[in-house]
Amino acid sequence: MLRQDDGFHGRGDDVYGALLSAHEGLSDDESAALNARLVLILAHEVGDVARLREALALARRSLGAAPGPAPG
Amino acid sequence: MSPTPRFPYVPPPELAGATGRRPVVVIGSGPVGLTCAIDLATRGVPVVVLDDDDTVATGSRAICWAKRTLEIWDRLGVGSRMVETGVTWSVGRVFHRDRELYRFDLLPESGHRRPAFVNLQQYYVERFLIERAAAFPDLIDLRWRNEVAGLTQSRDGVRLEVTTPDGPYALEAAWVIAADGARSPTRTRMGLPFEGQRFEERFLIADVRMKADFPTERLFWFEPTFHAGQSALLHRQPDDVFRIDFQLGPDADPERERQPERVMPRVRAIVGAGTPVELAWCSVYAFRCARLERFVHGRVVFVGDSAHVVSPFGARGGNGGVQDADNLCWKLALVLAGEAPEGLIDSYDVERGHGADENILNSSRTTAFMTPKTRVERLFRDGVLALAAEAPFARRLLNAGRLSRPCSLAGSPLQTPDGVPMPGGVAPGSACPDAPVRDGAGRPGWLLDHLGGAFTLLVFAGEACPDLAGCADLPRVVVGPRPLDCPGATMLVDPDGVAAARYGAGPGTTYLIRPDAHVAARFPAPDPAGLARSLARAHGRADAPVREAA
């Protein structure tokens, strides 16, 4: 179950600002590469494979695209 | 709406040979300059206000006035007028295309006199402030068609050259408050850089008059179906006037976009073809976030838009300016009376500089969210919009304006940090929250009617009067669950304990309240020596020897 409380502890705007700042001055390819690396790092911080799969499924659903591989 | 008032030019006494130095001259009679004049007058300080025009703002301009601003205007005796005429709201809704993503209530709890916001056209605000200023005929000298043409500073004052329809004159002042707006001629005259970030995006503001059944809420759309690919904002104002704000993109031609034949189709797309609509005012603008590095330059103090400008999303311009006035005027009054060192004025720069930075940060972030500059910014923004329907965390990242709230002055040297941990309540530097109370005769009222104006001791009581022997000789307000006869104090009854809960108070909890109704210090029990130290500190005398009260 993905967390439903405020994981940002009221500092969501700071988090969002930090994400945008990290991309300043990068080309589109570099930004995509940065995002991939960041996902790897944060996936490791989450650690729990089941929760990660839920997050991946949510992201995939929000694309409006075909569902990803079944969790398992 | 009545026609635009014209205020009469009166030849100033200087043209008839009058001389003499004025304690304070305010340049500019917008909402912030007028608030300064009235605040100073309530403190007995005579003020001359100079304005190059003879009327109020044209067009609605600023419309959203926050709870804190209304509370400041309450202290100045003009809050009710604003609220009675204004449109009260506290709910905002955010849509993506046709789907509602998020609804927020800015004031979900009861027990506050004032709502989260009222919408009121700036021309009404200025008129009500001008009428209020007229209640101080011996203290406020409001001079229409008096334009400042020159300014020279000496060590302890300012000389202004002023032009009038009858010719020029010179005016000497101990202090000048520059409240002359975003294009401040005073700022230009003094050669002060106004630095910040300019946004490329163009916006159309249209004020339209119509009978429409939009709710009295702030409605914001990302990528609305009626205005593809952009954003839009709608606010209700008095007199059936609605403010609609359309994002136009960076390449819009301002001259072309303000033509009614371009504006009206955009308006009809949102209100429907069947609603009769009249265009009251419109403007196309790009905005910037900028501030003076310092707000105090010798004896010239900048307030409001002359000191700092932000984007309109968040209502942080006019409200920030009124908070400037609230912060500055008691300090000027104390310095002019010789009751505080001149250095106290520097704390205005520290405290409101902090407020301006907070407003600029919030306003810049909103703008970044609304108008992504790069492909990756757009990917993040669109990701938040797409996730927001399902994931609560993403709704917190949606940024359609972070609306003005009182800023905390916790980092300022005037405040005394808690000496012992005091969980909950109102931390030093915070604006005082309101609460419903009854006076000694049982009449219902509001706590904030008794705070602000002068330094005040706010003391919470249990079954007996608190022992305030030796405490600073200040106005005292005692709040308790039952009426008590406490000598020398105003008794307020808090039957349901709302005030005690909001202030985290038990019997004995003592707050030192500043003249702008912010907490300067607090103590678990009356502490004469601690109060004396905190009071000296709040006067800008941090190094003053401790004066033990008799």
Domain identity same for B189 and B47: yes
A17 domain residue, yes or no: yes
pLDDT at B389: 87
**A16 to B399: CB separation less than 8 angstroms, yes or no:** yes
Please spell the DSSP secondary structure of B343-386, one letter per residue: THHHHHHHHHHHHHHHHHHHHHHHHHHHS--SHHHHHHHHHHHH
B99 touching chain A per CB within 8 A: no
Between chains, do A4 and B376 touch, taking CB under 8 Å as contact? no
Asked if the structure places residue B412 within a domain, the reply is no
A2–chain B nearest CA distance, Å:
9
Beta carbons of A58 and B390 less than 8 Å apart: yes
Does residue B322 sit within a domain? yes
CB spacing of A28 vs B375 below 8 angstroms = yes
What residues contact B382, with CB distance under 8 A and at least 6 apart?
none
User: Final residue of a domain: which of B341, B366, B391?
Assistant: B366
Is there a single domain that holds both residue B208 and residue B276?
yes
Starting at the edge strand found earlier in the chain, the sheet holding B308-309 runs B195-198, B288-291, B308-309
Considering only the C-alpha atoms of chain A, give the largest distance between any 2 of them, rounded to a whole number of Å: 39
Domain termination residue (choose one: B366, B388, B416): B366
What is the predicted pLDDT for the residue at B546? 46
> Of B263, B286, B309, which residue is a domain's last?
B286
Chain A nearest CA to B285, separation (Å): 25
Would A6 be classed as within a structural domain?
no
Same domain, residue pair B282 and B295: no
Cβ distance B392 to A13 less than 8 Å, yes or no, reads: no
What pLDDT does A67 receive?
A: 60
List of E strands, B51-181: 64-66, 87-89, 91-96, 99-105, 117-119, 140-143, 147-154, 157-164, 167-178
For residue B364, the chain A residue with the least C-alpha distance is A17
Res B544: pLDDT: 52
Task: Name the DSSP class of B420.
Answer: S
Q: Residue A20 is nearest to which of B380, B396, B402, comparing CB atoms? A: B380
How much is the pLDDT for B543? 60
Q: Is residue A25 part of a domain?
A: yes
Q: Are residues B499 and B459 in the same domain?
A: yes
Is B441 found in the same domain as B496?
A: yes
Q: Are residues B81 and B185 in the same domain?
A: yes
Report yes or no on A29 lying in a domain. Answer: yes
CATH number of the structural domain spanning residue B234:
3.30.9.10
In sequence order, what are the residues at sequence separation of 6 or more whose Cβ sits closer than 8 angstroms to the Cβ of residue B391? A2, A58, A62
**What's the Cα-to-Cα distance from B42 to each of B76, B79, B374, rounded to whole Å?**
7, 15, 51
Q: ipTM of this complex > 0.90?
A: yes
> Is B87:B336 a contact under the CB 8 Å cutoff?
no
How many domains does chain A contain in total?
A: 1
The domain in which residue A50 lies consists of 12-62
pLDDT digits (tens, 9 = 90+) for B197-249: 999 899 999 999 999 888 899 999 999 999 988 999 999 999 999 999 999 99
Residue A20, in any domain of the structure = yes
Residue B339 domain-assigned (yes or no): yes
CATH number at residue B516: 3.40.30.10
pLDDT value at residue B428: 97
In this prediction the pTM is 0.95
Predicted local distance difference test score (pLDDT) of residue B549: 40
Predicted pLDDT of residue B440: 84
Question: Across chain B, which distance is largest between two alpha carbons, in Å?
Answer: 76
**Cβ separation A12–B396 shorter than 8 A:** yes
Residue B431 lies in a domain: no
Question: Does any domain span residue B420?
Answer: no
- pLDDT value at position A70? 55
CATH number reported for the structural domain that contains residue B118 in this entry: 3.50.50.60
Please check the confidence at residue A1 and state whether its pLDDT lies above 90. no
Instruction: Identify the sign of the CA torsion B131, B134, B136, B141.
Output: positive
Domain membership of residue A72 (yes or no) is no
Domain range for residue B507?
436-538
Q: Total domain count for chain B?
A: 3
Angstrom distance (rounded) from CA B203 to CA B266:
12
Asked whether B485 and B470 are in contact (CB, 8 A), the reply is no
User: Per residue, what are the HEC states of B187-243?
Assistant: HHHCCCCCEEEECCCEEEEEEEEECCCCCCCEEEEECCCCCCCCEEEEEEECCCEEE
Question: Looking at the domain assignment, is residue A67 inside a domain?
Answer: no
Do residues B133 and B39 share a domain? yes
Same domain, B204 and B143: no
Q: What is the per-residue pLDDT across B418-457, written as a single tens digit (0 to 9) for each?
A: 999 998 999 999 999 999 999 988 999 999 999 999 999 9
In a shared domain, residues B159 and B38:
yes
Q: Are B54 and B165 in contact (CB under 8 A)?
A: no
Same domain for B275 and B302, yes or no, is no
User: Are the beta carbons of B41 and B139 closer than 8 angstroms?
Assistant: yes
Q: Is B13 part of a structural domain of the chain?
A: no
- For residues B330 and B473, state if they share a domain: no
Question: Which residues of chain B, if any, have pLDDT below 70?
Answer: 1-3, 543-550
Kindly state whether residues B173 and B227 are assigned to the same domain: no
What H or E segment, with its residue span, contains residue B520?
strand B519-523
